[in-house]
Amino acid sequence: YKTFAELRIARFDTAKVTGLELSPPKAERLVFTKKEDPKDKKALWTYAADGQETELDAVQVNELLSGISNLYGKDSVDPAASSYGIDEKTPWVVLRFKPEEKPEPLTFYLGSHADDKKSYFIKAMPDAIIYEVADSAVEPLLKKNKESFLKTSK
């Protein structure tokens, strides 16, 4: 008989994310917070640095969240077999939710790249499952930096 393994890294409603931390490799850590616009009650994403808060392009932030929510592993791997280059001191992505939605944040650690398999290893917490995820799914997310999310004036 066959068994089915769920290889979607994380199930979450992107609209319920209230905070996002992104630590791209070799780039500054970004911390975004979702707030409600007092005028029209729409969701606003902001980035704070050096005591200043900058409003972000919500479309770009939502695209990133969708990209993360749609990450599927090609396979899951035995966590006891190797560390897979995963450094648990530096999360790649942390998603925060309202306490009543999901009390624990979802945290993803980026491991090493397997050239032969054209994939990255990603550890998803709190489940502690390590997935092998295709380059084509991960690399567009790795290219994101602060400028990716700034509003462009039209």
DSSP string, 90-120: S-SEEEEE-TTT-SSPEEEEEEEEEGGGTEE
Question: Which pLDDT score, from 0 to 100, does residue 37 have?
Answer: 77
Which of the two residues, 49 and 44, has the higher pLDDT score? 44
C-alpha to C-alpha distance for 141 and 138, rounded to whole angstroms: 5
Tokens of 151: 């509003």
Q: pLDDT tens for residues 66-105?
A: 999 999 999 999 888 888 999 888 899 999 998 887 668 9
pTM, two decimals, is: 0.88
Q: Residue 1: pLDDT band by 50, 70, 90 thresholds?
A: low
Report the interhelical angle of 135-142 vs 58-69 (nearest 10°).
Answer: 150
Question: Which pLDDT score, from 0 to 100, does residue 61 have?
Answer: 95
Question: Which pLDDT score, from 0 to 100, does residue 100 have?
Answer: 80
Q: Determine the distance from the C-alpha atom of residue 90 to the mean position of all C-alpha atoms in its chain, rounded to a whole number.
A: 13
Tokens of 93: 């992505």
Q: Which residues pair with 95 in a beta bridge?
A: 20, 106
Q: Kindly report the three-state secondary structure assignment for every residue of 49-82.
A: ECCEEEEECHHHHHHHHHHHHCCECCEEECCCCC
Question: Which pLDDT score, from 0 to 100, does residue 102 have?
Answer: 67
